[in-house]
Structure formats: structure tokens, C-alpha cells
Amino acid sequence: MLGLYEVFYAVYIFLRLITAAIVVYCVLSWFRPNFRAFYMLRGFIQPFVSPFQKLALKVARYFNAPVDFTCLFALIGYQILERLLWRLYYLLARLL
């Protein structure tokens, strides 16, 4: 049976995988957007970055910027989520 730490560590590893995939996607979009791995990676990360698209669109419209900030906001959001995850783990570890 998995312990509390193993469950939280598995979620942490999954969040790190998503973060790395977003970074690789951004780099590929600059250099090789016609590469096959680019489209496969886009299909993988699309569900994870789509919640941040509305915010990025609002910011781009407000500042009249032609840049898509979706991946940047997703990276910031997942970093915050990682920190909250470990704070929750330490809180639960103290209680149990």
C-alpha cells in the first residue's frame, strides 16, 4: 500500500513532467513548429494549458501585445501548485 509521501511524490513528479513538456513545447515552437514531435507534444499539453488561455488572452488584449502568454501562465500556475502540494503534505504529515 502506498504511503502519504509516495502519493504526494507521484503527483509532484507528474507536475514536473507537465512543466518539462511545456518548456520543450515552447522551445520547439520557436525553432521547429513543423516537427512531428511538436504536434504530439501539443496534444499532450493542451488539456493542461487550456485553463490559462482565457487569462492570457485578456492580458494580451489589455496590453495590446501580439504574444501568447498561455505557457508562461501555465508554468507559473504549476509552480504555485507544486508549492501548495508540499505545504499540504507537511500539514497532513503533522496531523497524522
Residue boundaries of the structural domains of the chain: 4-95
If you ran DSSP here, which 8-state letter would residue 67 be given?
S
At 75, the pLDDT band (50, 70, 90 cuts) reads: very high
The Cα-based distances of 23 to 38, 56, 71, 76, 82 in angstroms read 12, 17, 8, 12, 16
| Per-residue pLDDT at 29 | 87
The Cα-based distances of 39 to 46, 47, 53 in angstroms read 10, 14, 18
Share of the chain above pLDDT 70, in %: 99
pLDDT average, residue stretch 77-94: 95
**pTM of the entire predicted model:** 0.88
